[in-house]
Amino acid sequence: MTTTEKHGVAAPSPQKAIKATVTVTEPSSPYSIDSSNPATPTPHIQPAPPEPCHTPPPRLDFADISNKVYSLAQKNSQLGEQTKVAIEVIEKAIQTYGLGSISISFNGGKDCTVLLHIYAAVLWKFCVEHPQNGHVQNGLNSSLHPPSSARSNIHSPANLSTSSHHDGSWEWFPTIPAIYITYPNPFPEVELFVQKCCYLYGLHLERISGDMKRALQHYLDTYRATFYPNISDQAQEIKAILVGTRRNDPRAGNLQHFDPTDPGWPEFMRVHPIIDWSYRDIWDFLLQLNVEYCVVYDKGYTSLGSSNNTHQNPDLRNPALEGGFDPAYKLRDETHERSGRVSKPKGPEGSN
């Protein structure tokens, strides 16, 4: 499928096909699946790499996230308009494909972190407004309904309950299916951040290494068995994957908000809610809403791939600092976002 190579849903690259290796990370009890036979994975309990957090962080306050994201979307500003469009695209995807048939591609990069945060905001609002459907689960969580306090005044995001850790809202909020087609030699900080986000946002993340096409097909083939083991309904299958591709990414110039995969590739709809966001939009969102992002961006990296092909951006060099580089959000010329990337990698890597 022809699109930018990012977030684990990427354009095909010439590479030797290898066996896909899958690791599934849950918010509370990580385990891995050794797919020596991709059609019939055998689960076994063991920590997913990297080492699990000794004290897992609590899940985020999703009501507060929703309030802030929807409030931002009401502002008369470029970032407000971009956020509004992203919300509308995600809402349309849920209405079109159903909550149980949507996944998100997440690899810890800045762009997909923005996308995940907005998706969490939309999911909260959807679940509150549709309590009969909002508790669609993947077999990992019980089918709990949102608390009555959250269902009051549902048409005004600012009035939603913001006490999720007190009213138990995180207990009924759906676990989020996610896919991460891994890079060779990833940054350890990125891997730890991805794991942390599994706890913070409640991701059920499948880490898959190997050939891109096979990895995607494996994910589609095993999704229902993994997330809905007690449901035989063929409707509970992946029909769309949210991807954090932006217009200035390689080969993304002609992408729309909704693009089906190309012929010969596993079939699903690629959804690009932040396709028209700029580098500045991404950082304005993360900083204004105080969204946690991967620490490597504070070390002068502006676009992440593997540690083999990614270096600190020379535009951010600052000898006055102990680390020698300014953080990524201080980059002035966003056309130099990829200046730290030395060559096109082999595999599912791209801008983040």
For residue 156, give every residue at least 6 positions away whose Cβ sits within 8 Å of its Cβ, in sequence order, or none. none
Question: Which residue has better confidence, 313 or 169?
Answer: 313
50-59, 303-312, 333-342: segment of lowest average pLDDT: 50-59
Residue 105, SS3?
Answer: strand
For residue 101, give every residue at least 6 positions away whose Cβ sits within 8 Å of its Cβ, in sequence order, or none. Answer: 235, 236, 237, 238, 239, 240
In the prediction, which pLDDT does 131 show? 72
Residue 17: pLDDT band (50, 70, 90) is very low
Q: What percent of the chain has pLDDT over 70?
A: 65
Q: What is the mean pLDDT of the chain?
A: 75
118-132 average pLDDT score: 88
| Paired residues of 153 in beta bridges | none
Q: Mind listing the pLDDT tens digit for each residue in 162-178?
A: 333 334 345 556 789 99
**Residue 25 pLDDT:** 52
Mean pLDDT, rounded, for 318-328: 95
- Determine the pLDDT at residue 326: 96
Q: How remote is the C-alpha of 262 from its chain's centroid?
A: 22
Q: Give CA angle at 289 (146, 246), nearest 5°.
A: 100
Dihedrals φ, ψ of 58, to 5°?
-70, 155
Task: State the pLDDT at residue 193.
Answer: 96
- Beta carbons within 10 angstroms of residue 46's beta carbon: 11
What's the pLDDT tens digit per position in 184-216?
Answer: 889 999 999 999 999 999 999 999 988 888 899
- 84, 118 Cβ separation under 8 angstroms: no
The mean per-residue pLDDT over the stretch 212-226 comes to 84
Per-residue pLDDT band at 301 (split at 50, 70, 90): very high
Give per-residue burial for 86-100: e unless 16+ CB within 10 Å, then b: bbebbeebbeebbbb
Share of the chain above pLDDT 90, in %: 48
Cα torsion 15, 20, 21, 22: sign: positive
* Domains of the chain: residue spans and CATH: 1-293 (3.40.50.620), 296-346 (no CATH)
Across the range 78-91, mean pLDDT stands at: 98
**Top-confidence residue, 192 or 351:** 192
Most confident of 26-30, 71-75, 202-206: 71-75
Q: What angle do CA 191, 192, 198 make, to 5 degrees?
A: 95
Instruction: Please state the rounded mean pLDDT for residues 221-241.
Output: 72
Q: How confident is the model at residue 41 (pLDDT cuts 50, 70, 90)?
A: very low
Type and span of the H or E element at 67:
helix 62-73
Nearest to 240 by CA among 100, 82, 136: 100
Torsion of CA 273, 124, 280, 297, to 10 degrees: -110
pLDDT at 53: 46
pLDDT at residue 18 is higher than 70: no
Tell whether the model's pLDDT for residue 139 goes beyond 70: no
Which range has highest mean pLDDT (12-16, 63-67, 135-139, 143-147)? Answer: 63-67
The dihedral formed by the CA atoms of 194, 270, 22 and 116, expressed in degrees to the nearest 10 = 20
12 upstream amide cis, omega within 30 of 0: no
Confidence check: pLDDT of 72 > 90: yes
Strands, E assignment, 232-301: 240-242, 258-260, 269-271
Which helix (DSSP H) or strand (DSSP E) does residue 33 occupy?
strand 31-34
**Mean pLDDT across 11-18:** 33
Categorize the per-residue pLDDT at 257 as very low, low, confident or very high, splitting at 50, 70 and 90: very high
DSSP single-letter state for residue 50: S
Q: Do 337 and 6 contact (CB within 8 A), yes or no?
A: no
Give 281-294 as a DSSP string: HHHHHHHHTT----
pLDDT of residue 137 exceeding 60, the answer is no
Can you tell me the distance from the alpha carbon of 231 to that of 285, in angstroms, rounded to the nearest whole number?
A: 38
Query: What single DSSP character describes residue 341?
Result: B
